[in-house]
Amino acid sequence: MAANTAVALDGVPETMLWTLYQRAAEARRPDTVLPDPEAVALVEAVAETGGFAFTERFGHPHPLAAQALALRAACFDSVVRQFLDAYPDGTVVSLGEGLETAFWRCDNGRVSWLTVDLPEPLAVRHSLLPHGSRQHTLACDARDPAWTAGIDPARGVLVLAQGLLMYFRPPEVRDLIASCAEHFPGGGLVFDAVPRTPGRPADPAARRGPPVARGYRLPPMPWRMNARQRPALATAHPAVAEIRPVELPPGRGLLWGTAAPRVERLPVLRNRRPTVTLLRFASR
């Protein structure tokens, strides 16, 4: 881990710093829902060397948001571990990975891990995180199907899109699903989505991202999906063989430990909550 790297990002790439900051705050708790020592060490190293002023930019970590992001990461981790149980030598492709540290949480000693990201955030990742022989990176926009070249689906492929697709336009989401289905027969794609909000502008370009800290607002999120819209994902490509919801693990406290698990029993609320979805593609 570099000790004197200055980090300068904006727009969607900057969100990787906000999610890292929140996740590390949750990981510091003795009762954390996601042990993540790499995230904690990374935030402390960057902050101590003046590489990025987390508190000045994002304010103090918000406990509910921090736990939510950690639970989301734990949800993705569970899918990765299940995949590696079935395909120990498989390939995990993490799109727009930023400073996510899932590799260190899920590594089985055999997986091949490919990070696909834009050049600027990928350069930051390279400067701050060590990469071993089974970790590979590719500077490419996730919307460009060029990143699919050279990935052998024979050993199994799982594509992760954590905290990413909401920043795409709807046709771009469909194109990504279709590209994965076409290039990775027998593989899968797991992603999260934020729910649609009544009264939002119809034009995605006119939408503003939600405020998450004083002076900081997430970028606009053109693509949103409610839970009941999952079946429509099958129309993206004929090879979409299974659409499966992935439930968050139980959390801590009144909201994430008590209320959130009960939302599943209430149709209206269930339809308008953040979701994680796993798509499986037919084998040829």
Distance between CA atoms of 56 and 13, rounded to whole angstroms?
18
Distance between CA atoms of 224 and 219, rounded to whole angstroms?
13
Strand-strand pairing, 211-213 and 216-217: antiparallel
Residue in the structure block whose two tokens are 């994002």: 58
pLDDT value, residue 47: 86
- Could you report how far apart the first and last alpha carbons of the chain are, in Å? 42
Residue ranges of domains in the chain: 11-281
Evaluate whether 103 touches 81 at the Cβ level (below 8 Å). Answer: no
Evaluate whether 125 touches 97 at the Cβ level (below 8 Å). Answer: yes
pLDDT value, residue 149: 95
The answer to whether residue 123 scores a pLDDT higher than 70 is yes
List, for residues 163-196, the tens digit of each pLDDT value: 999 999 999 999 999 999 999 999 999 999 999 8
The answer to whether residue 1 scores a pLDDT higher than 50 is no
CA separation, residue 210 to residues 31, 78, 189, 215, 220 (Å): 28, 28, 26, 11, 8
Evaluate whether 6 touches 17 at the Cβ level (below 8 Å). Answer: no
Distance between CA atoms of 17 and 100, rounded to whole angstroms?
9
Q: Which two tokens stand for residue 94?
A: 């993490």
pLDDT value, residue 197: 72
- pTM score, whole prediction: 0.91
Is 11-281 a domain of CATH 3.40.50.150? yes
CA angle 121, 115, 182 (to 5 degrees): 125
216 forms bridges with which residues in the sheet?
Answer: 213
The answer to whether residue 217 scores a pLDDT higher than 80 is yes
pLDDT value, residue 143: 97
Distance between CA atoms of 32 and 25, rounded to whole angstroms?
9
Evaluate whether 3 touches 49 at the Cβ level (below 8 Å). Answer: yes
The answer to whether residue 267 scores a pLDDT higher than 90 is no
pLDDT value, residue 259: 66
Of residues 273 and 171, the one with the higher pLDDT is: 171
pLDDT value, residue 85: 98
Q: How many CB atoms are closer than 10 A to CB 266?
A: 10
Burial class (CB in 10 A: 0-12, 13-18, 19+), 181: buried
The answer to whether residue 73 scores a pLDDT higher than 70 is yes
